[in-house]
């Protein structure tokens, strides 16, 4: 820390992103990216736009908002495009949280929530998951606090039904309820249809996973026009040109390539079922996932040991040090050949240890 660093950030614990190694070719199953490239029309739209990189981009993302409005069945005034959904989550903690307006979220969930709370001096109310790692919606009903829940949750992969989420929305009418739908396209129900009914609902989505655009950084906040206006006030106070030209063009083309992405999501759901089945034969217990990753554990080998042994064999997965989930690894669902390579590595690691 330099002697200039503000005391208000002295205790900040920054987020540790998943490894993006440059030292060797890994089978990368650690950051929930898509194994499939963006649709061809997306690549050419971004390339065309590259010729105009000398000019600032449209801060209002007009064309992208129009396309997203068609995709979600909403008006452009319900939509705020952002630099990855991380940004809309950060804007939300800035806009709606303060000393008197805490944010509640699960103990096992997306690691950025406690950090966003901390950096914005927003108290965090951490609510334990049930023993089986599911969220108990009752814990969030009548809470009188802002709430952020990923649906499906990460890293468990488990989802709530929209009707249970509706109970949370109905019983917290004076608080913002954020449903983080980063992984919704892989099988869970979206809360977007509830937007007309609840002015306290903010849905966040990303094009990083199902739309193969993690490197382009594109996410969306979807909500009541008044909420979107507040979030725009924050955006225009921080970084008006937050979604660059190439990403805006790529986003429009991605929305127009819906069939391509639907097919990829279907392939990932099939590969997920296959991988869970093969792991079960090896004694692994996997939580019921509706995402493009699985959270799995074996009674025979600690999660940290498995993570390390897989890395030595060129397969990267994610291991979180939290006590409740120490025995688990989170594995992104890649292509079928990638998952076969992962399963072969697991078999070899178990065999090596006489298991
Ligand atoms: N929410 C959850 C639950 C996530 O796992 C992620 C991905 N790390 C994000 C939001 C943010 O994704 P992005 O910023 O790439 O849209």
Residue 182 C-alpha to ligand 1 middle, in angstroms?
A: 6
Query: Does ligand 1 have an atom closer than 6 angstroms to the CB of 153?
Result: no
Residue 110 C-alpha to ligand 1 middle, in angstroms?
A: 8
- What size, in residues, is the chain? 355
Residues of the chain above pLDDT 90, percent: 93
Residue 86 C-alpha to ligand 1 middle, in angstroms?
A: 6
How confident is the model at residue 17, as a pLDDT?
A: 87
Q: Which long-range contacts (CB under 8 A, 24 or more apart) does 108-114 make?
A: 108/133, 108/153, 108/155, 108/156, 108/322, 108/324, 108/325, 109/149, 109/150, 109/153, 109/154, 110/150, 110/154, 110/180, 110/182, 111/15, 111/16, 111/320, 112/15, 112/86, 113/89, 113/148
Per-residue pLDDT averaged across 206-222, rounded?
A: 98
Query: Does ligand 1 have an atom closer than 6 angstroms to the CB of 84?
Result: yes
Q: To 5 degrees, how large is the angle CA 278–CA 280–CA 286?
A: 110
Instruction: Round to whole Å and give the CA distance between 178 and 146.
Output: 8
Say if residue 127's pLDDT is above 80: yes
Residue whose CB lies within 8 A of the most ligand 1 atoms, among 16, 155, 206, for a mutation test:
206
Write out the H or E segment, with its range, that includes residue 127.
Answer: strand 124-127
Pick the atom of ligand 1 nearest to 219's CA: 16
Question: Among 24-28, 36-40, 159-163, 345-349, whose mean pLDDT is lowest?
Answer: 24-28
Residue 232 C-alpha to ligand 1 middle, in angstroms?
A: 20
Residue 32 C-alpha to ligand 1 middle, in angstroms?
A: 9
Say if residue 21's pLDDT is above 90: no
pLDDT tens-digit readout, 255-274: 999 999 999 999 999 999 99
Residue whose CB lies within 8 A of the most ligand 1 atoms, among 105, 110, 295, for a mutation test:
110
How confident is the model at residue 238, as a pLDDT?
A: 96
Residue 226 C-alpha to ligand 1 middle, in angstroms?
A: 24
Nearest to 254 by CA among 278, 218, 221: 218
Instruction: Round to whole Å and give the CA distance between 268 and 210.
Output: 9
Instruction: Round to whole Å and give the CA distance between 209 and 36.
Output: 10
Residue 148 C-alpha to ligand 1 middle, in angstroms?
A: 13
Predicted confidence band of residue 22 (pLDDT cuts 50, 70, 90): confident
Write out the H or E segment, with its range, that includes residue 125.
Answer: strand 124-127
Query: Does ligand 1 have an atom closer than 6 angstroms to the CB of 206?
Result: yes
Query: Does ligand 1 have an atom closer than 6 angstroms to the CB of 110?
Result: yes
Say if residue 153's pLDDT is above 90: yes
- Sequence-separated (6 or more) residues with CB below 8 Å from residue 179: 149, 150, 151, 165, 191, 201, 202, 203, 204
Residues of the chain above pLDDT 70, percent: 100
How confident is the model at residue 150, as a pLDDT?
A: 98
Pick the atom of ligand 1 nearest to 109's CA: 3
Predicted confidence band of residue 24 (pLDDT cuts 50, 70, 90): confident
Pick the atom of ligand 1 nearest to 153's CA: 3
Pick the atom of ligand 1 nearest to 89's CA: 10
Residue 325: what are its φ and ψ, rounded to 5°?
A: -125, 25
In SS3 terms, 295-351 reads as: EEEECCECHHHHHHHHHHCCEECECCCCHHHCCEEEEECCCHHHHHHHHHHHHHHHH
Burial class (CB in 10 A: 0-12, 13-18, 19+), 2: exposed
Output the average pLDDT for the chain: 97
With beta carbons less than 8 A apart as the criterion, state whether 230 and 95 touch.
Answer: yes
pLDDT tens-digit readout, 49-83: 999 999 999 999 999 999 999 999 999 999 999 99
Q: Both tokens of residue 12?
A: 């900040």
Per-residue pLDDT averaged across 196-200, rounded?
A: 98
How confident is the model at residue 18, as a pLDDT?
A: 85
Query: Does ligand 1 have an atom closer than 6 angstroms to the CB of 221?
Result: no
- Sequence-separated (6 or more) residues with CB below 8 Å from residue 259: none
How confident is the model at residue 277, as a pLDDT?
A: 98
DSSP bridge partners of 101: 98
Residue 353 C-alpha to ligand 1 middle, in angstroms?
A: 35
Query: Does ligand 1 have an atom closer than 6 angstroms to the CB of 219?
Result: yes
Where is pLDDT greater, at 218 or 10? Answer: 218
> Whose CA is closest to atom 7 on ligand 1?
182
Predicted confidence band of residue 23 (pLDDT cuts 50, 70, 90): confident
Predicted confidence band of residue 19 (pLDDT cuts 50, 70, 90): confident
With beta carbons less than 8 A apart as the criterion, state whether 317 and 259 touch.
Answer: no
Say if residue 135's pLDDT is above 90: yes
Residue whose CB lies within 8 A of the most ligand 1 atoms, among 92, 181, 182, 290, for a mutation test:
182
Say if residue 224's pLDDT is above 90: yes
């Amino acid at each position: 820390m330099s002697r200039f660093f503000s005391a208000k950030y002295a205790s900040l614990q920054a987020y540790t992103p998943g490894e993006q190694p440059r030292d060797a070719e890994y089978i990368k199953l650690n950051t929930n990216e898509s194994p499939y490239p963006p649709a061809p029309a997306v690549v050419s739209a971004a390339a065309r736009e590259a010729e105009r990189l000398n000019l600032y981009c449209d801060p209002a993302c007009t064309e992208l908002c129009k396309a997203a409005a068609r995709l979600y069945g909403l008006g452009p005034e319900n939509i705020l495009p952002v630099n990855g959904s991380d940004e809309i989550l950060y804007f939300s903690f800035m806009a709606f949280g303060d000393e008197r307006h805490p944010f509640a979220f699960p103990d096992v969930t997306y690691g950025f929530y406690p950090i966003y709370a901390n950096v914005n001096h927003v108290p965090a109310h951490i609510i334990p998951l049930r023993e089986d790692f599911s969220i108990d919606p009752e814990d969030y009903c009548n809470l009188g606090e802002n709430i952020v829940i990923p649906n499906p949750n990460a890293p468990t992969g488990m989802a709530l039904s929209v009707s249970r989420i509706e109970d949370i929305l109905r019983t917290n009418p004076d608080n913002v309820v954020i449903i983080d739908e980063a992984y919704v396209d892989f099988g869970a129900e979206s809360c977007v249809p509830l937007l007309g009914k609840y002015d306290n609902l903010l849905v966040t989505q990303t094009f990083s996973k199902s739309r193969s655009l993690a490197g382009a950084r594109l996410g969306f906040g979807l909500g009541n026009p008044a909420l979107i206006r507040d979030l725009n006030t924050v955006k225009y106070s921080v970084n008006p040109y937050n979604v660059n030209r190439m990403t805006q063009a790529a986003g429009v083309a991605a929305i127009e390539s819906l069939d391509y992405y639907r097919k990829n999501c279907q392939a990932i759901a099939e590969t997920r079922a296959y991988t869970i089945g093969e792991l079960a034969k090896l004694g692994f217990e996997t939580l019921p996932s509706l995402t493009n990753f699985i959270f799995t554990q074996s009674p025979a080998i600690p999660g940290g040991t498995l993570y390390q042994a897989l890395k030595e064999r060129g397969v990267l997965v994610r291991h979180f040090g939290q006590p409740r989930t120490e025995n688990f690894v989170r594995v992104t669902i890649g292509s079928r050949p990638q998952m076969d390579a992962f399963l072969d590595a697991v078999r070899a690691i178990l065999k090596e240890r006489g298991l």
